[in-house]
A and B are shown apart, each in its own frame.
Chain A
Amino acid sequence: MLGLDDEELIAAVAGAHAGEAHRFLETFDASVARRELERMGVHAACAHGSAYPVRLRDLRDPPATLFWVGSDERLASLTREPAVAVVGARRASQYGLEVGYSLGRGLGASGITVVSGMALGVDAAAHRGVLDAGGPALAVLACGPELAYPRVNRGLHGRLVGTGAVVSEHPPGQRALRWSFPARNRIMAALVELVVVVEAAEHSGSLITADLASELGRSVAAVPGRITHRGTAGSNRLLREGAMLTRGTEDVLDELFGPGARAGPDTPDPALETLGSSERSVLEQVEAGRGGPDALGLELRLSAAAVRAALGRLEAVGLVVRGALGAYERTAR
């Protein structure tokens, strides 16, 4: 719909209000609108402007105007440097969040622009990862770019605006609507060379992004999930249908630049070096998904106190993370 020209659009949707729409069009003054945008700190570029990302022109229905807040330079670098979208479920598992974060961080540290949709779950985790690594971050919203949607991510929105960029095809003040999310996904797909789906159930919006990306000739990758877990059925189906299997930053870099062409950021975890033998074996058990302290003690022949001490040390140095109600998970560091 956003691809239609003015007359067609009015004919299609305005109906009885067609006269009103024509009047608005006649009285619209571009310079007034531009001043208004400037006052709000929002930048704009039309499809023919020089700041408009060239990759978007690959779309059958490119956004007529792109609005953004944040650094112009970040948007410009999109037209030069490779970019990767990291997308996934809002209701993601702890594992999905960890992987999203670590991909964002690894890619960011390698200087790749990480694009995502600032949704809850995997999207936000990926944004946090790239921001924590000080890498180039870009968010594509389904509402006006100056609006932090969802509200809980307003802190993240601030960080993105501060060091990255937040773009949208919607003018400032426009609320997110049901249809604007899939429309947003086509922009994400067009902006990047590769889309990584971290965790997606069947019928997930991330699958729409993946489909649009492959239609545009972009690569699609997915992170494998458990076959018994419904939350990863969609991303696993992508793998079955030929998406690239991704185990981490290295795999993504290999796909972009050819095997071994660019090494991932060299970050062996210094915390691993400090571990004692019982801590190592407890860590292995947690990695294997056997985290219950009693079971660990029986398996490793350690006292309850020793198991807790090992878990405590591992958590203190950031190698495992404890859920709100207890269970331990390996962090993806």
Chain B
Amino acid sequence: MFASVATFALEGVDSHEVTVEVDLRRGLPAFTVVGLPDASVREARERVRAALLNSGCEFPLKRVTANLAPAHIRKAGPSFDLALALGVLAASQQVPREELSRYAVCGELSLGGALRPVLGSLAMALGARRAGYARLVVAVEDAGEAALVDGLEVLGVPSLDRLVDLLCGRWRPSADGPDRPRASREEPEPDLADVRGQLDARRALEIAAAGGHNLLMTGAPGVGKTMLARRLPGVLPPPSFDEAVEITRVRSVAGLSPGGLAERRPFRAPHHTISPSGLIGGGATPRPGEISLAHHGVLFLDELAEFSRPSLEALRAPLEAGQVEIMRGQRTISFPADVMLVGACNDCPCGRLAPHCRCTDSDRARYARRLSAPLLDRIDILCELDAPEFSTPTAYGAVTSPPGEASEPVRARVREARERQGRRLEGTGAGCNAAMDARLSRTHLRLSPGARSVLSQAQAAGGLNGRGHDRVLRLARTIADLGASSRVEGEHVDEAFGYRLGSSARAAA
């Protein structure tokens, strides 16, 4: 007696098809799972036996052998429970085999026979569509997310007995199916209007958002670095549907999905004690790191100088490539990691405000050297924040400087600038100005005579090498885009020079 069931195993943010084959023989009753299962998969035997018996089915008193094919790939996690259970049921003729072959299934079983959600159901749904299945059975909780995939009928089923009823034609899930993109309920996104003053930093933030440039903010604690960074996702254009699916996919693999489609760009702010594998992903069964969780959003590294050097060095390649590659055995697993990096650090090691700070210039220089050169190499904008100018406190003790511009008009300007870039860079593979390489920045930039003369003046004064030149031009192009100018003018180049890293940091990078 033999039956097979299709299910999916996660690998990074992708899934590949796994066929669960079940064979029943006469012999001493036993239940063996082969095909490189890890301990968590072998435990499935107990769950499957109990779930079957508690769902009013029989567990055959035979020698049961289950094989997870392809047998050379290591299988982990409880998502094979459902397929194993159905394999046993089909092999013992408790459900029709032909009917079962039209479905792909994935889910974890409780001892009572209820279906539990699994990690990465969106990735599995994408895998099911790619493998050509028309129907996918998942737990009710996973259905909303899996249903984001077009051209696949997703059936959210509460329990094993219901699924048996379905396969035997005794039950249908409600006709309207699972809820399509359900708005994920989150806190309202913070607004730039909350930030008073800091006009310079707001401008830097807007430019960073408009061109996708990585940003480093420095300043004493409490001046508003984190507050500004937290508001960056809100001024970026909302993610497109494809981007939202990708964001959801990573979140779901990490078990962080609240269900439904991610409608916002992620903002991740890992603590500075994080390990390299926490930052870029890793583990025996590779899981996405913070940089992947920030995919299509913002990775904010507060206290940048306090991160361990190995952690910062690990970021280098992913920032360059937009993805993380992790080697496991013979296989390379990749996670997406297209992020905007925002760093923040104090402007001196003691972190106190001006009159109390006793740090010498050489202390500051040493502190600045702790920032790793390869990372600084990826930063286009350096913005120093002063303590905001407090005017005379009012009777209520409130700060009287007026509230700043709200996020909405900023987002509109950013979107316009991005559209302009999109048209110019169409078909080049670069999505925004920050992604232009040296060749693109030469071919896609029109410089005014004024801009040329600023550049040659800077070259004559020394301190502008080839790479610095490209970087200034990329930034100047974004500033011109914000100003709706098709040509890069002298003033745009001037302003771009104003955000350049300090000379010692440039030398290091």
- Chain A residues proximal to chain B, CB less than 8 Å: 90-94, 97, 121, 231, 271, 274, 292-295, 297-298, 303-305, 307-313, 315-318, 321-327
Contacts and interface: CB of A to CB of B under 8 A. Distances in A.
Contacts of B369: 324
A231 B479 CA distance: 41
A308 B501 CA distance: 13
20 contacts: A91-B360, A91-B361, A91-B362, A271-B461, A292-B384, A293-B384, A294-B198, A304-B202, A308-B494, A312-B499, A315-B500, A316-B461, A317-B457, A317-B458, A317-B461, A321-B503, A323-B365, A323-B502, A325-B364, A326-B218
Nearest to A97: B361
B505 A324 contact: yes
Contacts of B364: 323-325
A313 B497 contact: yes
B346 to A, nearest CB: 8
Interface string B358-383: 00111011011101000000000011
In this complex, the member of B218, B360, B504 whose beta carbon has the largest number of chain A beta carbons within 10 angstroms is B360
Nearest to A319: B461
Chain B: number of interface residues, binned into ranges: 35 or more
Interface in B462-509: 462-464, 479, 491, 493-505
A9 B133 CA distance: 97
B203 interface: yes
Contacts, number: 129
B347 A316 contact: no
B388 interface: yes
Nearest to B305: A325
Contacts of A294: 197-201, 385-386, 388-389
Contact of A312 (B201, B219, B348, B495): B495
B489 to A, nearest CB: 10
A309 B462 CA distance: 18
Given A297-B199, A304-B202, A318-B462, A313 B386 contact: no
B384 A325 contact: yes
A308 B499 contact: yes
A275 B493 CA distance: 15
Given A93-B360, A325-B345, A304 B203 contact: yes
B464 A316 contact: yes
B361 A94 contact: yes
Contacts of B464: 316
Contacts of A303: 199
A298 B495 contact: no
Contacts of B34: none
Contacts of A307: 200, 498
B454 interface: yes
In this complex, the member of A271, A303, A308, A315 whose beta carbon has the largest number of chain B beta carbons within 10 angstroms is A308
B365 A324 contact: yes
A322 B216 CA distance: 14
Given A274-B457, A312-B498, 4 more contacts: A91-B362, A271-B461, A312-B499, A326-B347
Nearest to B354: A292
A325 B218 contact: yes
Contact of B368 (A97, A292, A309, A325): A325
A297 B461 contact: no
B361 A93 contact: yes
Interface string B243-254: 000000000000
A92 B502 contact: no
Nearest to B345: A325
A285 to B, nearest CB: 13
A293 B371 CA distance: 23
Contacts of A94: 361
A309 B491 contact: yes
B454 to A, nearest CB: 7
B385 to A, nearest CB: 8
Contacts of A325: 218, 345, 347-348, 364, 367-368, 382, 384, 502, 505
Which 9 residue pairs spanning A and B have beta carbons closest together?
A326-B384, A312-B497, A312-B498, A324-B368, A308-B498, A292-B386, A316-B458, A309-B494, A304-B203
A321 B501 CA distance: 10
Given A91-B362, A313-B454, A325-B218, A308 B200 contact: yes
Contacts of A90: 362
Contacts of A93: 360-361
A169 to B, nearest CB: 29
A4 B497 CA distance: 60
Contacts of B497: 311-313, 315-316
